[in-house]
């Protein structure tokens, strides 16, 4: 599995946010469509019904501020001995008939993204609803590379640019 932007990519599917495990909620993207999963969710739509997918409430900071936040979080955990769940953000799936909001865990370390990675991820989400073949590109990348783990920041940004058509 690998994290690229707001996406958690496995060999079989793409999640917006971290992979939903157990009762955790999530949004899964497949070539067939979009699914919300988890204890309080269980909807699915074919791509022809999906009008928009948005991510909101995402922690975005400059690279320097991100590093400072991660360092502070590490000190708090070290001193208190209390680990915390990863930060969450909201994914909104909009169809012609309705909209569903799902709170998902962030796949990024500390849950913080740089502005560029966040903007490119949003562009990929927009592009996916306009051109469903883009999901196939993410899935093909996952089959070939997800087992290698999360790529470095520069490679993630380049992948996001490619997938967004930027």
Q: What is the pLDDT of residues 48-103, one digit of tens each?
A: 999 999 999 998 864 544 444 444 444 444 444 555 667 889 999 999 888 999 99
pLDDT of 68: 41
For residues 162 and 10, give the distance between their C-alpha atoms in angstroms, rounded to a whole number.
18
Give the distance, in angstroms, between the CA of residue 10 and the centroid of all CA atoms in the same chain: 12
pLDDT tens, position by position, 126-158? 999 888 888 999 999 999 999 999 999 899 999
pLDDT of 41: 75
Which 8-state DSSP code applies to residue 130?
H
pLDDT averaged over every residue in the chain: 84
Q: Do the Cβ atoms of 59 and 113 come closer than 8 Å?
A: yes
Take residue 127 and report the two structure tokens written for it.
Answer: 């592009």
**Percentage with pLDDT > 90 across the chain:** 57
How crowded is the C-beta side of 107, counted as CA atoms within 13 Å? 25
Mean pLDDT of 31-53: 89
Query: Phi/psi class of residue 5: alpha, beta or left (left: φ > 0; alpha: ψ in -120 to 50)?
Result: left
Give the distance, in angstroms, between the CA of residue 60 and the centroid of all CA atoms in the same chain: 13
pLDDT tens, position by position, 116-129? 999 999 999 999 98
102 - beta bridge partners?
91
């Amino acid at each position: 599995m690998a994290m690229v932007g707001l996406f958690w990519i496995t060999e079989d599917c793409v999640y917006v946010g971290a992979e939903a495990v157990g009762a955790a909620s999530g949004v899964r993207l497949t070539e067939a469509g979009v699914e919300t999963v988890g204890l309080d969710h269980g909807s699915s739509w074919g791509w022809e019904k999906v009008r928009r997918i948005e991510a909101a409430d995402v922690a975005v900071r400059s690279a320097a501020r991100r590093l400072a936040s991660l360092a502070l979080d590490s000190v708090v955990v070290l001193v208190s001995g209390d680990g915390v769940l990863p930060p969450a953000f909201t994914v909104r799936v909009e169809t012609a008939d309705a909209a569903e909001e799902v709170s998902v865990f962030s796949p990024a370390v500390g849950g913080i993204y740089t502005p560029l990675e966040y903007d490119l991820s949003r562009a990929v989400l927009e592009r996916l609803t306009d051109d469903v073949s883009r999901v196939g590109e993410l899935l093909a990348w996952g089959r070939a590379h997800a087992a290698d783990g999360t790529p470095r920041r520069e490679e993630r940004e380049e992948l996001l640019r490619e997938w967004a058509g930027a």
